[in-house]
Amino acid sequence: MIRVGIVGGTGYTGVELLRLLAVHPQAELRAITSRKEAGTPVAEMFPSLRGLPQLAELKYSDAAQADLKGCEVVFFATPHGVAMAQARELTGAGVKIIDLAADFRLKDPAEFEQWYKMPHACPDLLAESVYGLPEMHRDAIRQARIVGNPGCYPTAIQLGFLPMVEAGVVDPAHLIADAKSGVSGAGRKAELGLMFSEAADNFRAYNVGGHRHHSEIVQGLNGIGPGHVTLVFTPHLTPMIRGIHATLYARLTKADVDLQQLYETRYAAEPFVDVMPPGSHPDTRSVRASNVCRIAVHRPQGGDIAVILAVVDNLVKGAAGQAVQNMNLMFGLPEETGLTAPPVVP
């Protein structure tokens, strides 16, 4: 059994980690932290988790008193800056880290500081960390001490563009990502724009001038194919709870490419990427509560513009599920362990 700790277990990604790890056959939850809720039973905070044997006695504890060094892996479901502050001490004790925030996603400390408005606390550890998108970095994840779990938008967008950029069949200098997210992507917090009466029956773009996930996507796609990647990325907030829908556009440079075959071949062995039949239109509810990314490939009027549709659940494949997928790889388990539950519909 893998001894597991979670730092920051009251947010949406924290409770999603609890939901998945509580029924994982090889995970033993040892500690979960929350300064505000210290002493509160997990099942009292989240009645949806009542009756799960692993959580029957589990209570939130203050991070300063939790035995995180007694764990084999610690997940950080916290704001940016928390994981890097504790990373050196934990890795020094032999603990592996999976950070669901951005502390270990960007390889350039200056770029991290630009986007997240804080200096990086341990650039030496940043240099050894692995970006946790298994479909791109599986072998490195297996050997990693520190994994930076990808963001939700970057997961859908990179998986959507990857086969074309990798194969060199599109112009990488003119990629466009038009992506939509449910409100849970902003986290569990009181904020005016996320209130029901503000977000319901409404649809809007935000951060058009520059979203912090932009640099993460470009970093991930650069170097996997010929040419430098330039991306226009526009995020939108939609009146739903879960889901990312990314509509991606790229100009083809090879007229004879069979895009459907390209995608089916690239993802044939991937347990959590589903390339749908030609003409499909995946929707967000088809992946709700699952670790699956569904992709559909289009080439309108047989022209030179590829349109790729990619959907994920932002809390699962876009966060907690992918983090568990990374844990499985880091500890030599079958990648699908604990992640095979089908999506929830409706």
pLDDT digits (tens, 9 = 90+) for 173-191: 999 999 999 998 877 766 7
Q: HSE on the CB side for 151, CA within 13 Å?
A: 27
- As a whole number of angstroms, the distance between CA 53 and CA 41 comes to 13
- Residue 204 identity: R
Paired residues of 33 in beta bridges: 7, 61
CA angle 127, 83, 94 (to 5 degrees): 70
Region of 135 (left: φ > 0; alpha: ψ -120 to 50; beta: rest) is alpha
Active-site residue list: 152
pLDDT in tens, 254-288: 989 999 999 999 999 999 999 999 999 999 999 99
Predicted confidence (pLDDT) at residue 9 exceeds the cutoff of 90: no
Buried b (16+ CB within 10 A) or exposed e, 290-315: bbbbbbbbbbeeeeeebbbbbbbbbb
Q: If we measure between CA atoms, which residue out of 207, 208, 186 comes closest to residue 198? A: 186
Which two three-digit tokens encode residue 346?
Answer: 């409706």
Q: State how far Cα 164 lies from the chain centre.
A: 21
CB 174: neighbour CB atoms within 10 A?
13
How far CA 237 is from CA of 153, 246, 292, in Å, comes to 12, 12, 21
Band of residue 8 on the pLDDT scale cut at 50, 70, 90: very high
Q: What is the pLDDT of residue 184?
A: 87
DSSP state of 16: H
Which tens digits make up the pLDDT trace of 56-115? 889 999 988 899 999 999 999 999 999 999 999 999 999 999 999 999 999 999 999 999
pLDDT at 63: 85
CA angle 187, 189, 195 (to 5 degrees): 100
Residue 163 clears pLDDT 90, i.e. is over it? yes
Domains of the chain: residue spans and CATH: 2-128 (3.40.50.720), 152-314 (3.30.360.10)
Contacts of 97 by beta carbon, 8 Å cutoff, 6+ apart: 73, 74, 76, 83, 87, 90, 91, 104, 145, 146, 147
Give per-residue pLDDT as tens, 222-236: 989 999 999 999 999
Taking only the tens place, the pLDDT of each residue in 283-333 is 999 999 999 999 999 999 999 999 999 999 999 999 999 999 999 999 999
| C-alpha torsion angle, residues 39, 44, 46, 51 (rounded to 10) | 120
pLDDT tier for residue 198 given thresholds of 50, 70 and 90: confident
Which pLDDT value is given to residue 251? 98
Over its C-alpha atoms, the chain yields an Rg (Å, rounded) of: 20
274's enclosing H/E stretch is strand 273-275
Q: What is the pLDDT of residues 29-44, one digit of tens each?
A: 999 999 889 999 999 9
Nearest-angstrom CA–CA distance, 135 and 272: 9
| Per-residue confidence band for 51, with pLDDT thresholds at 50, 70 and 90 | very high
